[in-house]
Amino acid sequence: NTGWTGGGYGVGTRMKLKYTRAMIRAAMSGELDGGAMHKDPVFGLHSPGTCPGVPQNLLIPAKVWEDAEAYQAAVSKLAQLFTANFAQFEHAANAAILKAAPVSA
């Protein structure tokens, strides 16, 4: 993750490169295989419960934002933007791809 953490632009901070590198290293080495995962309820993405060299709170974005309402609003907006943009491709998508779309936040 090289994006923002802890809040949107102006509130949060850029994810530190050392944490991004640690996540990639752990994924590539197999250290994350078989570990507990957290499934995002809107996007369905799986995040590891732990990752060597990464503070645990950074692995679940909702836990890093101080303003829970702002986090939920950002998630909802992102899901809506994704859905609106993807509408142009729906006609060519198979059932598995359609099923992977975000659910309403």
* CATH number reported for the structural domain that contains residue 43 in this entry: 3.90.228.20
In a domain, 91, yes or no: yes
> Do residues 5 and 13 touch, judged by C-beta distance below 8 A?
yes
Domain count, the chain: 1
The pLDDT value recorded for residue 76 is 95
Q: Is residue 101 pLDDT above 80, yes or no?
A: yes
Domain that holds residue 28: 4-99
Over the stretch 2-25, which tens digit does the pLDDT of each residue have?
678 899 888 999 999 999 999 999
28 belongs to a structural domain = yes
Residue 104 located in a structural domain = no
How do beta strands 37-39 and 46-48 pair?
A: antiparallel
- 49 lies in a domain? yes
